[in-house]
Amino acid sequence: MKKVLGLLLFLIPFWLQAEIYTLRVDGPIDTLLEEYVVDSFKKIHLAGNASLVIIEMDTPGGYDTSMRVIIKAMLNAEIPVAVYVSPKGARAASAGFFLLLASDIAAMAPGTNTGAAHPVSVTGSDIEKTMKEKITNDAAAYVKTLAKNRGRNMEMAEKAVRESHSYTAEECLKNGLIDLIAADTRDLIDKLHGRTLTLANSREIILNLKNEKIISLKMSERQKFLRTITNPNLAYFLLIFGLIGLYIEFTHPGGVIPGILGGISLLLAFLAFQILPINYVGLFLILLSIGFFIAEIKIQGFGMLGVGGIVSFVLGSIMLINAPIPEMRPAMPIILTFAVCFGCIFLFLTLKVIQALKRRKETGREGLIGEMGVAKTDIDNHQGKVFVHGEWWNAVADGQIPAGSRIQVDTIDNLILKVKKSGG
């Protein structure tokens, strides 16, 4: 029995071997990244054997609310958290700057930058002056608190918020904004080994990272899928493609495939819109533009409805997604591409309508005038029979026209054709 207990005591340190967990924050900080990071911290807490969490980051910024939720998770983790801006050429702008300062260990790869953290409106429009001052003051106070708690340069942190200053990795290290520069994750771990840290709860620890296992926590398949379709360019494309597919199905019943593809695309677009910040005025303008294009085809607005449709489409597309940074809005080249395509279609249809109106009518009473035929009987100014347009008609003429002669229709009156002899 003693041997068994001894063996268990010998094995316990191996079973409880600490591990290093890594997370990857790429792209805009939104509700999906917030969910991914918070869920990852919960998993790490349940595992109970983490010695270090490394958040590798490359972000243009994102939403203030999501940023603050992630920072709360970091501060309450009771595990040392390192935020590492990587790889070379990456950035931690805006909300990413706050995450970097909130970490127990702030690190950057060579050739990276951070800062430019001035708050902006989600719509990109100007904020009313007093409200703008309140938002800026709140953000400045928050970043100063984070910097003070971590012993980092408060003045530079405040300038990044108030004056949108941006700093290179070397500037950050020299002026005390970050703790170190590392070439890669392995280099970061080697440099942190043996380092003494004071955590947010004032507990001091010494990092022992020698030969520890590195576990990478990935997004779930659901999160990856939602992250893909919430790409603003893809969500925008799904919306337009879905509307076109349904229009084709409704105007040409029985096609089936356009309806199926359009319906699926539209549902995926609306799923993305539940996560993306949608301006419904922009969405309604896009729907209105589709209505204008349909009306142009149906009632022949001579281009006016089409012009209204293009203007409505472009304005709606620009307003569709409220986002604080360009990366979170549909790219202007894509918007213009769709606008040009719709514009070319409606101009083509308008041209065809105008050509049709100018063309001589080929059916009905007007369609007979000018038609050639054959006199089946002698024709005078009282009676006669002609064969025109595959039909027999009663006919009269100003002079005598013998049977078998080629004739041409001049006018029609009460189903009687007035004809003349044709030189052909």
Catalytic residues: 94, 134
Q: What count of other Cβ atoms lies within 10 Å of the Cβ of residue 340?
A: 11
Token output for 173: 């290290």
The CA-based angle 310-311-315, given to 5 degrees, is 115
**Phi, psi dihedrals of residue 399, rounded to the nearest 5°:** -125, -175
Which is it for the CA torsion 160, 201, 53, 327, positive or negative?
A: negative
Closest CA to 236 of 116, 310, 332, 142: 332
Q: Which amino acid is at 354?
A: I
Q: What are phi and psi of 260, to 5 degrees?
A: -65, -50
What stretches of 300-422 show up as alpha helix (H) in DSSP? 304-319, 332-358, 364-368
d(CA 396, CA 376): 12
* End-to-end Cα, the chain, rounded Å: 123
Note whether 97 and 139 are within 8 A (CB).
no
